[in-house]
């Protein structure tokens, strides 16, 4: 029983450490790539077509900004109407994509919170049961070890949750700022109306042509 409990405790602790390091690395990578993508994206949104923008974002696929832009850009080109209507429609598209990214950033935090909340009470109850049913001093000490191990596990999960929550909150703020910037850039990409075709030929000659016809008719009139 003691060996099984030790193995379980070490397994959960190691899983918490791996989860924390992996999520921290993902958030940090997203922040770095979003910062690298922003200046290129500004130029691409002003000058490039949708295909070029999607290709650019593929190179920064680990960034929240790149995934948001890929999700929005194709549908954004189909939004038409007045500036107010386009602004609201683009804002809705960006908010939907940003919400998915925020959920992605907060992924795993609920697991840490659940472990932090439940591990200590469960281990204390288990330790109390073991201690109450103990017939030897070693059994009482085992019960205390179970309770202490559960409290330690709860503390580790709580600290990991606080650490990742702070990282995720900072990235969420950065994503929201980038989304505001993206909204302004997309709003300025209104496709220009096709120019009205100009008549071919020499406009001077076309202007002078009726006069020439008048002169010609006048020359044929009888004296």
Give me 32's structure tokens. Answer: 């770095």
* pLDDT tens figures, 78-121: 777 777 887 888 888 888 888 888 888 888 788 888 888 887 77
Q: What is the secondary structure of 166-209 as a DSSP string?
A: HHHHHHHHHHHHHHHHHHHHHHTTPPPPPPPPPPPS-HHHHHHH
Count other C-beta atoms under 10 Å from residue 75's C-beta: 14
221 pLDDT more than 70: no
Residue 45 near residue 189 (C-beta atoms within 8 A) = yes
Give me 36's structure tokens. Answer: 């690298």
3-class DSSP assignment, residue 82 = coil
Residue 20 near residue 163 (C-beta atoms within 8 A) = yes
Among 39, 81, 69, 43, CA closest to 191:
81
Give the side-chain half-sphere CA count within 13 A for 180. 5
171 CB-near residues (< 8 Å, 6+ apart): 27, 30, 31, 64, 105
**Highest mean predicted confidence (pLDDT) among 17-26, 82-91, 213-222:** 17-26
- pLDDT at residue 213, as a whole number: 44
Count other C-beta atoms under 10 Å from residue 148's C-beta: 13
- CA 50 – CA 40 distance, rounded (Å): 14
- pLDDT at residue 181, as a whole number: 79
- CA 86 – CA 84 distance, rounded (Å): 6
């Amino acid at each position: 029983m003691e060996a099984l409990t030790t193995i379980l405790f070490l397994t959960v602790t190691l899983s918490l450490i791996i989860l924390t390091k992996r999520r921290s690395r993902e958030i940090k990578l997203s922040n770095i790539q979003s910062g690298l993508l922003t200046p290129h994206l500004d130029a691409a949104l002003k000058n490039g077509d949708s295909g070029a923008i999607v290709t650019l974002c593929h190179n920064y696929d680990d960034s929240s900004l790149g995934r948001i832009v890929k999700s929005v850009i194709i549908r954004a080109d189909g939004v038409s109407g007045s500036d107010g209507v386009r602004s609201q429609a683009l804002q809705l598209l960006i908010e939907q994509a940003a919400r998915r990214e925020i959920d992605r950033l907060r992924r795993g935090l609920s697991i840490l919170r659940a472990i932090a909340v439940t591990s200590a009470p469960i281990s204390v109850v288990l330790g109390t049961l073991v201690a109450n049913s103990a017939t030897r001093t070693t059994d009482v000490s085992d019960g205390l070890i179970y309770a202490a191990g559960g409290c330690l596990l709860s503390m580790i999960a709580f600290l990991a949750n606080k650490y990742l929550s702070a990282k995720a909150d900072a990235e969420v703020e950065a994503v929201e700022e980038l989304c505001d910037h993206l909204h302004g850039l997309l709003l300025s990409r209104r496709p220009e109306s096709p120019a009205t075709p100009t008549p071919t030929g020499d406009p001077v000659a076309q202007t002078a042509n009726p006069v020439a016809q008048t002169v010609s008719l006048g020359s044929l009139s009888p004296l």
